[in-house]
Amino acid sequence: MKLLRVGATGAERPAILAADGTIRDLSSVVPDIAGNVLTPEGLARIRAVDATKLPVIDASTRIGPCVGNVGKFICVGLNYADHAAETGAAIPAEPILFMKATSAICGPNDNVILPKNTLKPDWEVELGVIIGKEARYVDEKDALDHVAGYCVVNDLSERNFQTERGGQWTKGKSADTFGPIGPWLVTRDEVADPQNLKMWLEVDGHRYQDGSTKTMIFGVQYLVHYISQFMSLQPGDVITTGTPPGVGMGIKPEPIWLKPNQTMHLGIEGLGEQTQLTVPYSG
């Protein structure tokens, strides 16, 4: 299934992408695409519904974040061997974890607001993993049983805040609108192998990132297992799993940073596409 949330910011309705390509309203079935709706039981309830009998939502309606009420937005740093190489970093022995503020979450096609005093804003296409069943000290072999589905994430970063303002990555990752997710939550049964997905990102039509989840250092299964050793994971938590090479900070001979009025277009095979316009902070 491809689940989404549509409507004005803060007033999104749950929806499903039907087989005929229409967006259908799930409001009569579930209150939101969030929390316990993402459990195996909650997804089974949606799966049992004939989507063709649900009301059609106009295709021009805004698409919001594909998950509501996210409790934790967990990021994995330097998780692609080729990305680590472009930044000059060593391959990590264990996953590097940090948090991204949930207030950064926005819709997949919303404007990205470049923060006040920004110097080095950057892009990162990433595979998002959405938890569907509570995970606490899970074995690696059972880890995917706790995944509801996958989505596209643009893990936007302000590199000056991230690396030159005290070494806390969270500061460079958490500006408002720095976490577009969606357009869809694609349920796990529709993704045969999360470690074999093509992914790409363009800025103003120039393709900077053109990679694959094949080059992840730590795969999805291991990450869910690993993170659950340090914190419990609840339905609706989002893990964003790292980015392939081609980010602005890695471009030689000089890095390239985002500027106002640029268009980012990105996607992951089978998970949909995002388009964002960068706009300056206006107070």
In the chain, what are the helix, strand and coil shares in percent, each to the nearest 5? 20, 30, 45
For the chain, domain boundaries: 2-57, 73-280
For CA atoms 133, 240, 16, 267, the dihedral sign is: negative
Q: Is the pTM of this model over 0.85?
A: yes
Query: What is residue 134's predicted lDDT score, i.e. its pLDDT?
Result: 98
The string of pLDDT tens digits covering residues 37-78 is 999 999 999 999 999 999 999 999 999 999 999 999 999 998
Exposure on the CB side of residue 237, measured as CA atoms within 13 A: 21
Per CATH, the architecture of 73-280 is what? Answer: Alpha-Beta Complex (3.90)
- The pLDDT, as a whole number, for residue 166 is 81
Strands 179-180 and 105-106, bridge-based pairing: parallel
pLDDT at residue number 262: 98
3-state secondary structure 17-59: ECCCCCEEECCCCCCCCCHHHHCHHHHHHHHCCCHHHCCEECC
- Please measure the distance between the N-terminal and C-terminal CA atoms of the chain and give it in whole angstroms: 39
**Residues sharing a CB contact under 8 Å with residue 40, sequence separation 6 or more, in sequence order:** 132, 133
Instruction: Give pLDDT < 50 ranges for the chain.
Output: none
* pLDDT (0 to 100) of residue 169: 86
Q: What is the pLDDT of residue 89?
A: 75
Is residue 230 within 8 A of residue 72, CB to CB? The reply is no
Please state, in angstroms and rounded to a whole number, the distance separating the CA atoms of residues 228 and 139: 9
